[in-house]
Amino acid sequence: MSKKQSLIQFLILGIAIGESMTQLSNGQQDQLLSDSLNFSDELKWGTQTSMSLTTVASLSHGYQLSDVMNHFQNWYKRNQFAPDQTLQRIDAITKKAMDNYTKNKDILASGVLEDSADSDDVLVRMLPVALYLHHEYGVSFINDEVAMMTLHRITGLTHNDEGVLVTVGMLSLILSQLLEKQSIRDAVENGLAFGFEYYSRHKVFKEELSAFEELNLPDFANIPINNITLDGRSASTLEAIIWSLLNSDSYTEAMHNAFLHGHVNNVVPTVVSAIAAIVYQEDLVIQAASHLVSSKLITTVTKQAERLGHFN
């Protein structure tokens, strides 16, 4: 690699590439992964990348919950971080939360509380938050109630169901372990252990832990892929993400695994791509990124984040 990339750059590029790949045919996906230099199509990213960029742009200046929401509103109402070439699609829960805030101007009451809010649509945009918390509080941010409140409140701006809050916590703790250079297997084991310990101490979250029991099994990596049923709920999507990563030794293998779960769900490949980009840090990610549309915006946001130093 000609120049070392920062963690936030790898993360955002991974998000954008993964989301873009969900728009490609199987043949195009294989070509990009096997011969990215000669790949001839554009990679068109969308909403997941846009909301991640808004989150990074806000947290680059430090955490203010109102500022995060203002960035979301600028994306929703003014198409900021959403260039014309990108593919924007807002999910029903996020739309309802944005409209709630427009109506009542209360950031603590904008998030959707219904069971339908236990949706995987929020997982991608929370990945930069995990990087931010790891940088600001260290790998043990789970022991800091301010850090955990930050995680839950940013999630809850849109998706405020207890189940999705726990899923975001589990994913963030696993990613934090990976940032400490642990193996994927050890990061999953330790991240889940910390998560179970933390959420079992909080009555409001305790009953949600049953959704993660299979994921917490020692031989989870060996379960048949057909045992994972993607239903749009956050916990099942986390299972598919972790299974794809546990059974990989490279970025390419992780992405092939992600698409084994089908092409209907675009969250699994996007999160897998983001985490695999950080874990493996392969030249392939940088080469594939050269095909992204509106790459200048991605570069501008990640360079500012790197310069201001809240993510690395």
- Collapsing DSSP states into helix, strand and coil, what is residue 266? coil
Cβ contact 261:18 at 8 Å: no
- Could you tell me if residue 87 is inside a domain? no
Could you give the number of structural domains in the chain? 1
Average pLDDT on 136-162 reads 96
Q: Is residue 91 part of a domain?
A: no
Does residue 21 form part of some domain?
Answer: yes
63 pLDDT band, cuts 50/70/90, is very high
Is residue 284 very low, low, confident or very high in pLDDT (cuts 50, 70, 90)? very high
> What are 150-206's pLDDT values in tens digits?
999 999 999 999 999 999 999 999 999 999 999 999 999 999 999 999 999 999 999
pLDDT at position 234, please?
Answer: 97
Would residue 218 be called left, alpha or beta, if left means φ above 0 and alpha means ψ between -120 and 50 degrees? alpha
Question: Residue 112 is encoded by which pair of tokens?
Answer: 């959707």
- Say if residue 264's pLDDT is above 90: no
What is the reported pLDDT for 2? 39
Q: Does the residue 24 lie in any domain?
A: yes
* Six token digits for residue 288: 């594939």
Among 209, 109, 111, 135, CA closest to 169: 209
pTM score? 0.97
Say if 81 falls within a structural domain. no
Task: Give me the domain span that covers residue 288.
Answer: 7-76+112-308
pLDDT band at 262 (very low <50, low <70, confident <90, very high): confident
CATH code: domain of residue 61: 1.10.4080.10
Question: What single-letter amino acid sits at 79?
Answer: N
**How confident is residue 71, by pLDDT bands cut at 50, 70 and 90?**
very high
DSSP 3: S
Indicate whether 156 belongs to any domain: yes
248 burial (CB, 10 Å; 0-12 / 13-18 / 19+) is buried
Q: Has residue 281 got a pLDDT over 50?
A: yes
**In 10 A of CB 90, how many CB atoms?**
15
> What per-residue confidence (pLDDT) applies to 3?
56
88 found inside a domain: no
Residue 82 lies in a domain: no
